């Protein structure tokens, strides 16, 4: 007991410094490991690109606020604040926060009080893309308002800072509870549908009311804009009671010499921040008490089904039954391990919301954009190839971490009497099936809402797709072995691949897209519509030979990196 009381007497500052030092050392030492130099180079490339993407919304918020306030339309400041809040939520969903150097839930094993644990969980991962984007945009909006009306500086900056804190707490609270709800498969499936509906809905609103996409809309477009304004004004009485509305109302109140009301708005905004903090702390308190978020946490061990392929990869299984099962189509027979691995991949996709979102989301975007593009560029040679390239870009990175969902089950692959290249082949075949399904869906969507591509264009696009898919999975297979990363489908904010793998996948697809576009442009210039089909088909044959060579040497590569794979995929999330 003396040791425990001695540990409990450590000050909060000492514990926070120890945790900060631990995280820093783990982060720094991570670059000394095999592949660490590549990760460092990837970060040095990605961060400046991210900064460039940050400039757009930031400058837009600043200039938008300046223009609105200069024109005397102070109520537009609330709309800017609302837009920034929605942008922050969308960025939170689509961009993962920085990867943790360690699992913060392990801190409950040490004598850390609940209040200190809440503070640590609140600040760990605070510098996420969503928080940075939201804070910069809000400060830019405050600067733009101040430039137009210097007398509003005393209210707009406190309002922007309070709203930034409130939004940050709201996002952290929401994601903490979303992770709790996503601990069940059914909730993950429902949430996937919710994300798709929200993402498609935002793009639909953008396409419908953005003048840039409706330059020839005429009276119909004006009626849509008028209806949107009427809806906004009708709901303004409700929206003004939420954080973004309160922050905007405080600026309007000061401009109209109603300072007490402005102070009341800021006080209400502070109450919102306190409420979000309390709900976040409530979630952390349950986690601190040892609540498990596992799908199988409540399942009794004797009742576990050891015959289903989904359970074969669970820790604790004696033998992976999935490797001996088959699920062949009528009249079509595959080798047992290959067929069973395909079945397992199908189960993984059904239970992984991010893969479903990556597959279905781009097709929905193509459906929305194709109607607009097709109306202005009917019969364009580039519509179908561009739509296909966009649809496959979101799922290309998944090939670079094909063992991520297997997690601890990677051990059974090395124990089972089956080549790892056979398992990888099954994963690749399933990826090819997904790409083929994307091809058919995009083709049908374009045929319905725009115009059906000509046969040479369709075949050239298919040849390019085969080329890109083969090269992508060839490199992805090697990266899956060299730099695997454990994935947890119940955690919305977990990255799918390492930073370097994600960068490589994007660069590879860009290069493949440039090659395809160059060949297509050559065919158009020479007025030889079938030339791209021949050239891209020949390149696809070469890519198939490259893929076969890479698959042949995969077993030796996996044997060389076996310890690294087991270490990375079996560690705590």
pLDDT confidence band for 332 (50 / 70 / 90): very low
Please provide residue 104's backbone torsions phi and psi, each rounded to the nearest 5 degrees.
Answer: -65, -20
HSE-up (13 A, CA, CB side) for residue 440:
5
Q: Does the structure show a pLDDT above 60 at 311?
A: no
Token digits of residue 146:
């101040």
Sign (positive or negative) of CA dihedral 558, 559, 565, 570? positive
- Which tens digit of pLDDT belongs to each residue from 277-296? 999 999 888 888 877 655 54
pLDDT, the chain, mean: 78
- Between the CA of residue 68 and those of 36, 78, 88, what are the distances in Å? 48, 11, 21
- Which tens digit of pLDDT belongs to each residue from 61-70? 999 999 999 9
Q: Among 137-146, 180-189, 309-318, where is mean pLDDT lowest?
A: 309-318
Give the integer Cα–Cα distance in Å for 271 and 246: 11
DSSP 12-34: HHHHHHHHHHHHHHHHHHHTTST
Give the integer Cα–Cα distance in Å for 437 and 419: 28
Token digits of residue 83:
């837009």
Give the integer Cα–Cα distance in Å for 365 and 353: 18
Q: Does the structure show a pLDDT above 80 at 409?
A: yes
Token digits of residue 200:
């498609």
Token digits of residue 411:
């051990």
The CA R_g of the chain, rounded to the nearest whole Å, is 27
- Cβ-contact 358, 394 below 8 angstroms: yes
Tell me whether residue 182 is exposed, middle or buried, using C-beta atoms within 10 angstroms of its C-beta: 0 to 12, 13 to 18, 19 or more. Answer: buried
Average pLDDT over residues 549-556: 90
Token digits of residue 118:
């809440």
* pTM for this predicted structure: 0.66
Give the integer Cα–Cα distance in Å for 164 and 182: 26
Scan for tokens 């030796």, then name that residue.
Answer: 556
- Cβ-contact 15, 116 below 8 angstroms: yes
List the domain boundaries for the chain: 11-288, 309-570
- Cβ-contact 60, 66 below 8 angstroms: no
DSSP state of 306: S
Scan for tokens 């450590």, then name that residue.
Answer: 10
- Which tens digit of pLDDT belongs to each residue from 219-273? 665 666 666 666 666 677 787 889 998 998 999 898 888 888 889 999 999 999 9
pLDDT score recorded for residue 13: 78
Number of neighbours of residue 486 by Cβ within 10 angstroms: 19
Question: SS3 letters for 358-392?
Answer: HHHHHHHHHHHHHHHHHHHCCCCCCHHHHHHHHHH
Give 329 or 158, the one with higher predicted confidence: 158
Highest mean pLDDT among 192-201, 347-356, 409-418, 468-477: 468-477
Give the integer Cα–Cα distance in Å for 320 and 336: 13
Q: Does the structure show a pLDDT above 80 at 100?
A: no
- Cβ-contact 322, 341 below 8 angstroms: yes
Closest CA to 450 of 376, 543, 533: 376
pLDDT confidence band for 543 (50 / 70 / 90): very high
Give the integer Cα–Cα distance in Å for 99 and 500: 13
């Amino acid at each position: 007991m003396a040791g425990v009381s001695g540990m409990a007497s450590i000050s909060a500052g000492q514990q926070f410094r120890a945790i900060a030092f631990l995280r820093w050392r783990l982060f720094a030492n991570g670059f000394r490991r095999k592949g660490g130099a590549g990760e460092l180079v990837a970060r040095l490339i990605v961060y400046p690109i991210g900064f460039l993407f940050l400039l757009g919304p930031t400058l837009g918020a600043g200039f938008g606020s300046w223009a609105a306030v200069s024109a005397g339309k102070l109520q537009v400041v609330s709309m800017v604040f609302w837009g920034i809040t929605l942008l922050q939520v969308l960025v939170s969903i689509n961009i993962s926060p920085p990867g943790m150097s360690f699992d913060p839930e392990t801190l409950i094993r040490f004598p850390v009080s609940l209040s200190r644990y809440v503070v640590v969980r609140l600040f760990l991962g605070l510098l996420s893309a969503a928080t940075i984007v939201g804070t910069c945009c809000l400060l830019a909006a405050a600067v733009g308002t101040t430039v137009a009306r210097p007398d509003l500086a005393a209210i707009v900056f406190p309002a922007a800072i309070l709203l930034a804190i409130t939004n940050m707490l709201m996002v952290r609270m929401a994601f903490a509870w979303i992770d709790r709800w996503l601990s069940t498969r059914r909730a993950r499936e429902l949430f996937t549908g919710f994300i798709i509906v929200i993402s498609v809905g935002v793009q639909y609103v953008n396409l419908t009311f953005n003048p840039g996409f409706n330059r020839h809309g005429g009276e119909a477009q004006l009626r849509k804009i008028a209806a949107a304004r009427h809806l906004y004004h009708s709901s303004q009485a409700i929206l003004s009671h939420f954080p973004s509305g309160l922050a905007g109302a405080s600026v309007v109140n000061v401009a109209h010499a109603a300072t007490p009301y402005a102070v009341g708005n800021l006080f209400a905004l502070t109450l919102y921040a306190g409420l979000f903090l309390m709900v976040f702390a409530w979630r952390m308190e349950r986690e601190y008490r040892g609540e498990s978020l596992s799908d199988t946490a409540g399942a009794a061990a004797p009742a576990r089904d050891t015959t289903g392929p989904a359970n074969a990869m669970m820790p604790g299984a004696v033998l992976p039954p999935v490797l001996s099962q088959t699920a062949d189509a009528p009249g079509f027979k595959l080798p047992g391990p290959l067929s069973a691995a395909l079945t397992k991949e199908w189960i993984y996709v059904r239970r992984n919301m991010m893969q479903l979102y990556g597959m279905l989301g781009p097709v929905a975007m193509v459906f929305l954009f194709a109607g607009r593009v097709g109306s202005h560029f009917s019969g364009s040679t580039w519509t179908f190839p561009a739509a296909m390239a966009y649809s496959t870009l979101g799922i290309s990175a998944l090939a670079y971490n094909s063992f991520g969902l297997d997690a601890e089950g990677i051990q059974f692959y090395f124990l089972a009497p089956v080549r790892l290249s056979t398992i990888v082949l099954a994963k690749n075949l399933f990826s090819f099936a997904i790409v083929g399904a994307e091809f058919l869906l995009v083709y049908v969507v374009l045929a319905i809402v725009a115009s059906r591509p000509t046969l040479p264009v369709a075949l050239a696009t298919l040849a390019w797709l085969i080329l890109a898919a083969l090269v992508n999975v060839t490199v992805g297979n090697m990266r899956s072995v060299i730099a695997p990363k454990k994935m947890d489908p119940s955690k919305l904010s977990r990255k799918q691949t390492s930073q370097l793998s994600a960068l490589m996948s994007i660069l590879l697809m860009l290069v493949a897209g440039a090659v395809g576009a160059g060949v297509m442009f050559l065919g158009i210039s020479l007025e030889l519509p079938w030339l791209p089909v021949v050239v891209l088909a020949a390149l696809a044959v070469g890519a198939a030979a490259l893929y076969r060579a890479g698959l042949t040497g995969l077993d030796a590569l996996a044997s060389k990196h076996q310890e690294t794979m087991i270490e990375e995929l079996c560690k705590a999330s």
